[in-house]
Amino acid sequence: MIRVETSAELREWTAARRRAGDTVGLVPTMGYLHEGHLSLVREAKRRGHAVVMSIFVNPLQFGPNEDYDRYPRDLDRDRALAERVGVDLLFTPSVEEMYPEPLQVTLRVGSWADRLCGASRPGHFDGVVTVVAKLFHLVGPDEAFFGEKDFQQLRIVQRMVRDLNFPVAVVGCPTVREEDGLAMSSRNQYLNPEERRIASALPRALRAAQERAAEGERRSRTIIDQVEQQLRTAGLVIDYVSIVGEEDLEPVETIDRPCRLLAAVYVGKTRLIDNIALGPEKER
């Protein structure tokens, strides 16, 4: 595995791989790697790509009162994990390398950025698409791999590619979970043992909702009420619980097409998100 910190070296390497006839797969991350990140690399490798992983904690996507400064970082550990899973090039730019001067031109997401996670994180998705666009330009991947764990992000990046004609296919990969169902996340690191125990109520509530929908409950309101009650009883503070169309992220009243139930909760100071498929063809 090669590690580079500059855009120039990155471009040189990807150009050489292309000349050698390889396709390139990109896995963008903020590091503090776990099995969820590694599953994206495995999928990229399975598809035969030369795999670029980026590790960059992107200041543009953090709000002023969010956890940018204390976001967990451990580059030595990440490097070993990336190498072991078969990353070919690890790109670890500094903030100065990515943003040598304050950006004058950025991307802005429309109404999809005002709902779900966007409602409590203003500017977040603008920061995400801006850095992803830069990474797409720097790497020129054939395919880029994103987790369904961040479902709204996945759909927004797919939409960016469609709206702005990026020549890349965005591949969504299933959420990797701990044994008790909690979605893996670098932020799980923040939880103390008691919080960690309580956190498992989130995937449990989503699972229960999926079962109710599979049994025939079609009213979103009923399912959302039950999920909210279950989360509150467990001691979680709700940011949102919402059911939207799988493709268009529009709120649905009746679950008569493929949908996603998405939720964000606070356990103490830590914000956790998760989502699950509901409705026809998606019930598993």
For residue 125 the two structure tokens come to: 């998705």
CB of 187 to ligand AMP, least distance (A): 8
Comparing C-alpha atoms, which of 137, 142, 134, 132 is closest to residue 51?
A: 142
Give the DSSP letter string of 24-66. EEEEEE-SS--HHHHHHHHHHHHTT-EEEEEE---GGGS-TTS
> Residue with CB nearest ligand AMP?
147
Sketch the per residue contact string, 91 through 130, with ligand AMP: x for CB under 6 A, - otherwise: ----------------------------------------
* 72 or 245: CB nearest ligand AMP: 72
Q: Does 184 bind ligand AMP (CB under 6 A)?
A: yes
C-beta of 44 vs 50, nearer to ligand AMP: 44
Strand-pair category, 50-55 with 24-29 = parallel
Considering only 43, 126, 142, 150, the residue that binds ligand AMP (CB under 6 A) is: 150
Active-site choice (34, 37, 49, 137): 37
Which of 121, 103, 98 is CA-nearest to residue 30?
Answer: 98
Task: Kindly tell me which of 227 and 272 has the beta carbon lying closer to ligand AMP.
Answer: 272
| 147 vs 279, beta carbon nearer ligand AMP | 147
Could you confirm whether 34 is annotated as catalytic? no
- Cβ neighbours around 181 below 10 Å, total: 17
The three-class DSSP label of residue 208 is helix
Neighbours of 66 (CB within 10 A): 13
Instruction: Check residue 100 and report its DSSP letter.
Output: S
Pairing assessment for the beta strands 89-91 and 143-147 based on DSSP bridges: unpaired
Among 10, 87, 90, 183, which residue sits at the site for ligand AMP (rule: CB under 6 A)?
183
Query: Amino acid letter at 48?
Result: G
**Burial of residue 136 (number of CB atoms within 10 Å: 0-12, 13-18, 19+):** buried
Number of residues that bind ligand AMP (CB under 6 A): 17
Q: Are 206 and 275 in contact (CB under 8 A)?
A: yes
The window from 81-89, 175-183, 216-224, 258-266 that contacts ligand AMP (CB under 6 A) reads 175-183
The residues in 4-63 that bind ligand AMP, with binding defined as CB under 6 A, are 29-30, 36-37, 39-40
Q: Which of 14, 54, 186, 270 binds ligand AMP (CB under 6 A)?
A: 186
The answer to whether the CB of 27 falls within 8 A of the CB of 157 is: no
> Judged by CB under 6 A, which of 49, 149, 159, 212 binds ligand AMP?
149
| Nearest distance in Å: CB 78, ligand AMP | 10
Which is closer to ligand AMP, CB of 154 or CB of 243?
154
For residue 252, the minimal CB distance to ligand AMP (Å) is 23
Binding site for ligand AMP (CB under 6 A): 29-30, 36-37, 39-40, 146-147, 149-150, 173, 175-176, 183-186
Q: Which residues are marked as active site?
A: 37
